[in-house]
Amino acid sequence: MTMQVAALMRYPVKSLGGEPLDPAPVALRGLDGDRRWMVVLPDGRFVTRREVPAMARLHARVGDDGDLVLSDADGARLEVARPDGPRRDVTVWRQPVTAATAGEAADAWLSERLGRTVQLVHMPDNVRRPVDPAYGAEGDEVSFADGFPLLVTTEASLDALNAQLPERVTMARFRPNLVIRGAPAAFAEDGWTRLRIGAITFRLVKPCTRCVVTTQDPQSGEALGPEPLRTLRAMGRVWERQPIFGVNAIPDAPGLIRVGDAIEVL
């Protein structure tokens, strides 16, 4: 079976619900529009579902005009224009980044729903956040994602994991950008270093270590217990003492990919 793209997802706001894409423009910092927005505390530190599971109940998509559309489980919506005004310093994993503030309306909307004072910020086009130089090359960059432009997973690996779990989980637990169908074996991605999809090549640079977010209900944020982290550890899916699922990838050039595109291992 030829490997192909099974799904493409972006998450416009870090840790909020995402949206499927087809086709998906690929930029050097990831799928176009992926994690270009982020929620921060008043001191600038980033906020994720690790600390605020209620973020799972909020969704974000990018409108046709490029503005952000936020929505909650009750159907309330807020449109947020890409900001071009005041900037401030924020931090992602202690890494400083300059961001543009989205404004009081967005801050109030999110603060009310998350039960704490937060601020919404956007990464401007002219801000560059480098990837970890231990895994990337000079010029490699990333959005507000944890560390790398894309997360790649395979259906074969999820099937193998589900075969060991007491209850099946969906791919949504792992929040990938690119899902691959037709991998020759479960966890075959461990041995891949480069992929080609259409005209774009991707470097697979590091296993993706997984956290408590994978143990939460993807829609509600409810804590569901120790799985799948416990089973990943039992299966030996561990890297630097952390459970892993999926691989982090860096594109070599911008371009366009689609669901159904053939994938070649280089």
pLDDT > 90 fraction of the chain, expressed in percent and rounded: 97
Q: Supply the pLDDT for residue 64.
A: 81
The last residue of a domain, from among 71, 89, 122? 122
CATH number at residue 183: 2.40.33.20
Pick the closest to residue 120 from 141, 136, 100 (CA basis). 100
Pick the closest to residue 259 from 24, 70, 60, 102 (CA basis). 24
Does residue 208 share a domain with residue 97? no
Question: Residue 49: CA atoms inside 13 Å, Cβ hemisphere, count?
Answer: 30
What's the pLDDT tens digit per position in 202-259? 999 999 999 999 999 999 999 999 999 999 999 999 999 999 999 999 999 999 999 9
Does residue 156 share a domain with residue 107? no
User: Residue 46: which domain range?
Assistant: 35-122
Does residue 158 share a domain with residue 73? no
Does residue 246 share a domain with residue 142? yes
Taking the alpha carbons of 118, 92, 25, 209 in that order, is the dihedral positive or negative? Answer: negative
Identify whether 23 is preceded by a cis peptide bond (ω within 30 of 0): yes
pLDDT higher than 90, residue 1: no
The last residue of a domain, from among 78, 93, 122? 122
User: What is the pLDDT averaged over residues 20-37?
Assistant: 97
> Does residue 49 sit in helix, strand or coil?
coil
Does residue 22 share a domain with residue 148? yes
What's the predicted TM-score (pTM) here?
A: 0.96
Please give the C-alpha separations between residue 34 and each of 11, 12, 265, in angstroms, as whole numbers: 5, 5, 24
Burial class (CB in 10 A: 0-12, 13-18, 19+), 1: exposed
Q: Supply the pLDDT for residue 84.
A: 86
Give the containing element (helix H, strand E) for 230: helix 229-234
What's the pLDDT tens digit per position in 253-266? 999 999 999 999 99
What's the pLDDT tens digit per position in 96-138? 999 999 999 999 999 999 999 999 999 999 999 999 999 999 9
Contacts (Cβ under 8 Å, ≥6 apart) of 206: 135, 147, 148, 247, 248
Does residue 160 share a domain with residue 106? no
What is the DSSP-derived secondary structure letter of residue 53?
Answer: G
pLDDT higher than 80, residue 155: yes
Q: How many domains does the chain have?
A: 2
Q: Supply the pLDDT for residue 90.
A: 98
Could you tell me how many residues make up the chain? Answer: 266
pLDDT > 70 fraction of the chain, expressed in percent and rounded: 100
pLDDT higher than 80, residue 75: yes
Q: Supply the pLDDT for residue 165.
A: 98
Cα 72–Cα 223–Cα 170 angle in degrees, nearest 5: 75
Q: Supply the pLDDT for residue 145.
A: 97
Chain-wide mean pLDDT for the chain? 96
Does residue 240 share a domain with residue 115? no
Does residue 182 share a domain with residue 65? no
What's the pLDDT tens digit per position in 52-72? 999 999 999 998 888 999 999
User: What is the pLDDT averaged over residues 140-165?
Assistant: 98
Cα–Cα distance, 128 to 193 (Å, whole number) = 25
